[in-house]
């Protein structure tokens, strides 16, 4: 396996000096040595990223945070029971959505109780036999303030990556969800190298998920520049095309307020195939396996069209060798009704067709 280069070690070791300069001289204290979390009998061993994507198969997004006023609604979650339900429902992967920046103090140290909550989710999901993605999801701040994003993003991974360095390889890190706006493609290409160095200082061969700018949009894949010598990277993209259908009636994107938009014509399927073929071509040209990290259709659309869409996107990803994670378990784009404690079965079966072979236990 590739050894961590001296330059990358230097970059990681210099992180807090960079942060201090970036913040214009503000006092930023480096957090103390992070606690390490392990699972008995499941040490880390490197895994080829293509083999990992094959194991990931289909998954679902789950919020770690409680209800937040700046996000569409999502429900609190009880990990000890529901991760087994997710596995029993036929999913192989869970993408844990973390909004961590609000849980940092003035020195950028993460709150101990919040870290314990992340630990609970990670260990419960791994114990359930799932592949687990730790997704740093503070795309909002990162789209507005590059300096603060840089400091907080690097601070998060400088604490969390060493904490999980000995966890099994079914734990994957996703560097940042949906870079966009101020975090342009060019700025993101620079930032990802710096943040990857922070991660690699403690996890030199763990697979890391990284996507392009413009909200992980497929049209920005050609602008994504990944370190050529790091082959433990899984590329990601998000797919909500056409937005007029998937986000019809969404209050946070009022330009798609028209209801009654349908999906399922030959032209709709042709567009899906053409765009995912473009992703496949990029994947092959750059020798990077692909993870479709988000897709879905809001409940304001007609259920039959939504089911056709979910099935078509999931199957299109699978036939091209991509793993995927539906957005999202609870809240809107719902797959599981947390209040009545039951699957929305038509939605579940569109994603995981009945009779699909279960993933073998790890």
Question: Given pLDDT bands bounded at 50, 70 and 90, which one contains residue 312?
Answer: very high
Q: Which segments within the chain are labelled E, that is strand? A: 58-63, 93-98, 131-136, 171-174, 208-210, 233-238, 290-294, 323-326, 336-337, 342-343
Q: Which of 93, 121, 122, 99 is nearest to 111 (CA)?
A: 99
Q: pLDDT tens digits, residue range 177-209?
A: 999 999 999 999 999 999 999 999 999 999 999
In 217-264, which ranges are continuous DSSP H helix?
243-246
Average pLDDT of the residues in 10-21 = 41
Q: What is the CATH class of 10-35+49-351?
A: alpha beta
Ranges of each domain in the chain: 10-35+49-351
221: pLDDT strictly greater than 90: yes
Residues of the chain with pLDDT > 90, as a percent, come to: 76
Q: pLDDT tens digits, residue range 129-145?
A: 999 999 999 999 999 99
Q: Is 181 left (phi over 0), alpha (psi -120 to 50) or beta?
A: left
Instruction: Tell me the C-alpha distance between 96 and 61, whole Å.
Output: 6
Instruction: Tell me the C-alpha distance between 305 and 101, whole Å.
Output: 37
Q: What would the DSSP string read from start to end of 227-240?
A: -TT---EEEEEE--
* pTM score of the predicted model: 0.89
What pLDDT score does 30 carry?
42
16: pLDDT strictly greater than 80: no
What pLDDT score does 34 carry?
59
Instruction: Tell me the C-alpha distance between 124 and 117, whole Å.
Output: 11
- Write out the two tokens for 87: 């596995």
Q: What would the DSSP string read from start to end of 19-77?
A: HHHHTTS---PPPPPPPP---TT-------HHHHHHHH-EEEEEE-S---TTSS-----
What pLDDT score does 358 carry?
59
Q: What average pLDDT does the chain have?
A: 88
């Amino acid at each position: 396996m590739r050894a961590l280069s001296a330059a990358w070690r230097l970059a990681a070791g210099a992180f807090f000096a960079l942060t201090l300069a970036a913040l214009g001289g503000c006092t930023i204290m480096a957090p103390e040595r992070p606690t390490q979390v392990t699972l008995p009998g499941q040490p880390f061993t490197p895994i080829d990223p293509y083999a990992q994507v094959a194991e990931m198969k289909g998954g679902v997004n789950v919020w770690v945070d409680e209800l937040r006023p700046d996000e569409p609604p999502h429900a609190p979650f009880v990990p000890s029971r529901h991760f087994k339900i997710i596995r029993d429902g036929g999913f192989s992967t869970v993408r844990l959505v973390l909004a961590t920046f609000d849980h940092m103090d003035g020195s950028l140290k993460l709150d101990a109780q919040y870290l314990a909550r992340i630990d609970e989710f990670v260990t419960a999901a791994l114990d359930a036999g799932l592949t687990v993605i730790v997704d740093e999801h503070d795309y909002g701040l990162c789209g507005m303030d590059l300096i603060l994003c840089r400091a907080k993003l690097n601070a998060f991974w400088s604490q969390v990556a060493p904490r999980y360095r000995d966890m099994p390889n079914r734990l994957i890190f996703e560097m940042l969800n949906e870079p966009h706006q101020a975090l342009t493609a060019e700025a993101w290409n620079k930032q990802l190298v710096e943040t990857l160095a922070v991660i690699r200082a403690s996890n030199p061969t763990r697979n890391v998920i990284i996507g392009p700018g413009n909200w992980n949009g497929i049209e920005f894949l050609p602008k994504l520049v990944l370190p050529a010598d790091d082959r433990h990277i899984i590329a990601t993209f998000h797919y909500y095309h056409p937005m007029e259908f998937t986000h019809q009636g969404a209050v946070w994107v009022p330009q798609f307020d028209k209801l009654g938009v349908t999906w399922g014509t030959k032209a709709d399927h042709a567009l899906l195939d053409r765009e995912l073929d473009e992703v496949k071509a990029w994947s092959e040209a750059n020798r990077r396996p692909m993870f479709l990290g988000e897709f879905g259709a809001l409940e304001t659309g007609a259920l039959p069209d939504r089911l056709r869409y979910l099935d078509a996107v999931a199957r299109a990803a699978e036939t091209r060798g991509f793993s995927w994670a539906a957005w999202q378990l609870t809240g809107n784009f719902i797959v599981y009704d947390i209040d009545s404690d039951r699957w929305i079965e038509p939605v579940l079966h569109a994603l995981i067709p009945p009779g699909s072979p279960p993933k073998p236990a790890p």
